[in-house]
Amino acid sequence: MTSLGWVVVVPVKPAAHGKSRLAGLLTDDDRADLVRAMALDTIAAARSTVGVRRVVVVTADDPLRRALVAASDEAEAPIDVVDEPDPSPDPLNAALRAGAAAGRRLEPDAAVAALLGDLPRLRADDLAEALHAAAPHLGAFVADAQGTGTTLLAVAPGAELDPRFGAGSARAHAAAGNVELDVPRTSTLRHDVDVPDDLRAAQELATGPRTTAWLARAAAVGPLG
């Protein structure tokens, strides 16, 4: 497959409901701020990745939408915000399908990748490397550091994105015929933040600027102090 560039679709749950597995550690406000900080860092990394033509964010979170408008910068790939689709029993995958459809309308000849929005360590060169590795395949994915989840699912131009995110998604994406990409275990693309230990680990490592600022505040006055 010769890719003419990528549309990257990033889903972000409304921050008030996001990262519920951190609810025991953080106040609701701190958790909402963290969800937005991680999403903005993930989106910024995607926008600055070589080969990314456009980033489509699927969210109903108004403060995040406003922050994305404020962050618009013509030097990087443009951002489009797509509304959450109608309520679904499988809202994350429904959001990704809606984002992929919007991306196809905007860039009909592009390849499409779904990228989770909780990757605060993501570096553009790691995403570029994974997209490059995905390009020859009809469908390909990157598993998370544990090997059970998925952080990136990529399809060729014209192929339909069939996301199966959720518990055990790496196995589900492989069973659906997607090729597991052999990106390094240490790639920043593999490290999502789900549980308190992920957040503690992130304190020791390089994160994007908004998550770094959140972590510094939390270390000084908050739950991580």
Ligand X SMILES: C=C(OP(=O)(O)O)C(=O)O
Residues that bind ligand X (CB under 6 A): 144, 149-150, 165-166, 169, 192, 194
Q: Would the annotation count 207 as a binding residue?
A: no
* Contact present, 18 and 42 (Cβ < 8 Å): no
Q: Give Cα 195 distance to the centre of its chain.
A: 16
Kindly state the smallest distance separating residue 149's Cβ from ligand X, in Å. Answer: 2
Which entry of ligand X, ligand GTP, none binds 31, CB below 5 to 8 A by partner kind? Answer: none
The amino acid at 52? V
Instruction: Give the residue with the Cβ less far from ligand X, 72 or 88.
Output: 88
Instruction: List residues near ligand GTP by CB under 6 A.
Output: 11-13, 18-21, 58-59, 84, 91-92, 95, 116-118, 192, 194
Query: What sign does the dihedral 41-42-47-51 (CA atoms) show?
Result: positive
Q: Would the annotation count 166 as a binding residue?
A: yes
Kindly state the smallest distance separating residue 7's Cβ from ligand GTP, in Å. Answer: 16
Q: Would the annotation count 150 as a binding residue?
A: yes
Look at strands 111-115 and 79-82 and give their pairing.
unpaired
| Strand positions, DSSP E, the chain | 6-12, 52-59, 79-82, 111-115, 139-143, 150-155, 179-180
Which entry of ligand GTP, ligand X, none binds 180, CB below 5 to 8 A by partner kind? Answer: none
Residue numbers belonging to the annotated binding site for phosphoenolpyruvate:
150, 166, 169
